[in-house]
Chains A and B, each alone.
Chain A
Amino acid sequence: MSEIKKIATRQSYGEELVELGKEHKDLVVLDADLAEATKTAIFKKAFPDRHIDCGIQEADMVGIAAGLASCGKVPFCSTFAMFAAGRAYEQVRNSVGYPHLNVKIGATHAGISVGEDGATHQCLEDIALMRVIPGMVVINPADDVEARAAVRAAYQYEGPVYLRFGRLAVPVINDRPDYHFEIGKGYVVAEGSDVTIFATGLEVDAAMTAREILSRDGIDAEVVNIHTIKPIDKDLIVKEAEKTGRVVTVEEHSVIGGFGSAVCEVLSENSPLPVKRIGVYDTFGESGPAVELLHKYRLDGEGIAKQVRTYLK
């Protein structure tokens, strides 16, 4: 079996910005002293005049992006998820969200897969924070292909978009000619009849691994990729949930307020079904290699499979 290609979605972000930058002169990129880490340094190298490093001041950066957008620029604001959605929350809400300005937030280093830096830098609340802002689009791509498509779609969409990227290199699972990305449209990755696993971000691949493990026990799991958490694909969620009647959500985020909650909201109003939310259970992260942390927090294929099995008993 050939080696599976792995790419961090932050890398996809930086590279796709360069491609878009070639096509669109109004695209500008802001960063807050993390250009090497967020990978906007790649854009900076290609377009130094359109890369604005604000230094370590995320609140100001978001405001500057709002001002630029109001003058016709399409700014991509980049920093770690913790500082974009956390520290600058109110600037995103009031300076960008309220006037519905055309600002894109490219938030990298989301979730515990940040790894060694530990809890202060592992944002597990950003999906919850961003999706309550009226008019904010929230996208959590699963791999390189999806991340690039999401960056492109975010540029084309008129209005604020929150893009969630990771630090860890993750398998490229969508490298196929018929791959199609549309904001707000999820898709079935693999059919199944016993349980429906709705996954987002790097958990899509983990859910596929879990599916394989579960199949050995005779459990036929369906995996659905919901990359856009807002606006969420209600029709698909209801349809797939009703198909198996047993629903699991997986996210690299707190189980409170995030993707699982969003799925629960859809189902409770349209097709009430029990839901098992897999994620980080109301706790902070910690230091350690990303892969080991994902294992410890039962967010790798094995951990998901175990939790699903327990739930189905």
Chain B
Amino acid sequence: MTDHELRIKANEVRKGIIEGVYNAASGHPGGSLSAADLITYLYFEEMNIDPKDPDKADRDRFVLSKGHNAPALYAALALRGYFPVEDLKTLRHVGSYLQGHPCMQDTPGVDASSGSLGQGISVAVGMALAARMDNAAYRVYTLLGDGEIQEGQVWEAAMFAGSRKLDDLCVIVDNNGLQIDGAVDEVNSPYPIAEKFKAFNFYTIELADGNDMSAIREAFNEARQVKGKPVAIIMKTIKGKGVSYMENQAGWHGKAPNREQYEQAMEELTKAGEALCQK
């Protein structure tokens, strides 16, 4: 896909996020929206996957270590053809296969169960290790929150990945700057992030605008060239990106919009989509 087509798709993913969270009357729109462009890029451009064969042995894998961004993952999977888009409305409902946090047995296309922060990156490391042991060609991607990296397990996993030179592993940090209790640097500063990963023997890429599709493409093209080291992409993003009243508001980390707010969000996203299509 072209960057332009991907932007249109990312806007659809954002609509899917709002649809899901609104119908669930709970969930995490803020971080889902900040990561929407990245997840769109992974599922529509970067990864070698087949929605008709979700368990294909040599597929690329994605672990949503920041599992609370499930609405973004589900929207991307639905739009990619893993299951009907209409089902996004069942998010978090009793009996739905779309759990509040990703569940690999329930949902086609979900490669790992995640949600307890800090654990997903270790699972991704295990997958990358399996790829190496089997001489398989697949790559493994994992997305972490900037608050999530306060978890010690993240650095256990980073130390191991760096030590083993797992170059099929690509760690992405969604640096939207906010966590539940406020700004990450006020709660318990994770900064500097890139330097930390560098010290753990990662090749690091700092993305100034992680909501810019062209910049995301450049970063992943660079990441693919790296040999002998795992890659960490630290991307600055805007929490709540695409819905005006949610942008940069920690309060929208884990809260669903009411009907009025839902309608406003959908209107904004519909207009944004129309504007993109006219280009």
Which residues of A are interface residues toward B (Cβ below 8 A)?
28, 49-50, 52, 54-55, 57, 59-73, 90-91, 94-95, 98-100
**B234 close to A (CB within 8 Å):** no
**Residues of A contacting B118 in the complex (Cβ-Cβ under 8 angstroms):** 59
Given B116, B127, B152, which contacts A70 in the complex, CB threshold below 8 Å?
Answer: B127
Whether the Cβ atoms of A68 and B126 lie closer than 8 Å is yes
A54 to B161, CA, bound (A): 10
**B216 close to A (CB within 8 Å):** no
**B88 close to A (CB within 8 Å):** no
Q: How many cross-chain pairs have Cβ atoms below 8 Å apart between A and B?
A: 101
**Residues of B contacting A63 in the complex (Cβ-Cβ under 8 angstroms):** 119-123, 125-126, 153, 157
Whether the Cβ atoms of A67 and B123 lie closer than 8 Å is yes
**Residues of A contacting B105 in the complex (Cβ-Cβ under 8 angstroms):** 99-100
Whether the Cβ atoms of A59 and B122 lie closer than 8 Å is yes
Whether the Cβ atoms of B116 and A55 lie closer than 8 Å is no
Whether the Cβ atoms of B119 and A91 lie closer than 8 Å is yes
Which of B33-41, B107-115, B190-198 touches A? Answer: B107-115
Q: Given the known inter-chain contacts A59-B156, A60-B156, A67-B127, please indicate yes or no for A99 contacting B112, CB distance below 8 A.
A: yes
Given A55, A90, A98, which contacts B103 in the complex, CB threshold below 8 Å?
Answer: A98
**Residues of B contacting A50 in the complex (Cβ-Cβ under 8 angstroms):** 133
**B199 close to A (CB within 8 Å):** no
A56 to chain B, nearest CB (A): 9
Q: Which residue of A lies closest to B152 (CB)?
A: A59
A281 to chain B, nearest CB (A): 33
Name the prevailing secondary structure of the B interface residues. helix
14 A-B residue pairs with CB within 8 Å: A54-B160, A57-B159, A59-B152, A61-B122, A64-B157, A67-B128, A70-B104, A71-B126, A91-B153, A94-B115, A95-B119, A99-B103, A99-B112, A99-B113
Q: Given the known inter-chain contacts A60-B156, A94-B116, please indicate yes or no for A71 contacting B130, CB distance below 8 A.
A: yes
A91 to B157, CA, bound (A): 13
A103 to B129, CA, bound (A): 15
Q: Given the known inter-chain contacts A59-B122, A60-B156, A95-B122, please indicate yes or no for A67 contacting B130, CB distance below 8 A.
A: yes
**B275 close to A (CB within 8 Å):** no
Whether the Cβ atoms of B126 and A67 lie closer than 8 Å is yes
- Report the interface size class on chain B: 20 to 34
Q: Which residue of B lies closest to A54 (CB)?
A: B160
Q: Which residue of B lies closest to A71 (CB)?
A: B130
Which residues of B are interface residues toward A (Cβ below 8 A)?
57, 63, 103-105, 111-113, 115-116, 118-131, 133-134, 152-153, 156-157, 159-160, 163
Whether the Cβ atoms of A70 and B111 lie closer than 8 Å is yes
Q: Given the known inter-chain contacts A72-B130, A94-B116, A99-B103, please indicate yes or no for A67 contacting B125, CB distance below 8 A.
A: yes
**Residues of A contacting B129 in the complex (Cβ-Cβ under 8 angstroms):** 52, 64, 67-68
Q: Which 8 A-B pairs have the closest CB atoms?
A: A67-B126, A63-B122, A71-B130, A60-B156, A64-B126, A57-B156, A99-B113, A67-B123
Whether the Cβ atoms of A95 and B123 lie closer than 8 Å is yes
A303 to chain B, nearest CB (A): 41
Q: Which residue of B lies closest to A99 (CB)?
A: B113
**Residues of B contacting A100 in the complex (Cβ-Cβ under 8 angstroms):** 105
Q: Which residue of A lies closest to B128 (CB)?
A: A67
A157 to B30, CA, bound (A): 42
Q: Given the known inter-chain contacts A55-B160, A67-B126, A70-B104, please indicate yes or no for A95 contacting B131, CB distance below 8 A.
A: no
A154 to chain B, nearest CB (A): 19
**Residues of A contacting B122 in the complex (Cβ-Cβ under 8 angstroms):** 59-64, 66-67, 91, 95
Since A52-B129, A59-B156, A70-B126 are in contact, a sample of 12 more A-B pairs with Cβ atoms closer than 8 Å, ordered by chain A residue number, is: A57-B159, A60-B157, A62-B122, A64-B157, A67-B112, A67-B127, A68-B130, A70-B112, A73-B133, A90-B119, A98-B103, A98-B113
**Residues of B contacting A65 in the complex (Cβ-Cβ under 8 angstroms):** 126
Q: Which residue of B lies closest to A93 (CB)?
A: B116
Whether the Cβ atoms of B127 and A71 lie closer than 8 Å is yes
A274 to B30, CA, bound (A): 56
A78 to B251, CA, bound (A): 42
**Residues of B contacting A67 in the complex (Cβ-Cβ under 8 angstroms):** 63, 112, 122-130
B141 to chain A, nearest CB (A): 13
Q: Which residue of A lies closest to B164 (CB)?
A: A52
**Residues of A contacting B125 in the complex (Cβ-Cβ under 8 angstroms):** 60, 63-64, 67
A90 to B153, CA, bound (A): 12
Whether the Cβ atoms of A70 and B159 lie closer than 8 Å is no
A79 to chain B, nearest CB (A): 13
A49 to B134, CA, bound (A): 11
Given B104, B121, B131, B152, which contacts A71 in the complex, CB threshold below 8 Å?
Answer: B131
Q: Which residue of B lies closest to A75 (CB)?
A: B126
A125 to chain B, nearest CB (A): 20
A97 to chain B, nearest CB (A): 10
Q: Given the known inter-chain contacts A55-B160, A60-B156, A99-B103, please indicate yes or no for A90 contacting B116, CB distance below 8 A.
A: yes
Given A59, A73, A95, which contacts B130 in the complex, CB threshold below 8 Å?
Answer: A73
A67 to B105, CA, bound (A): 14
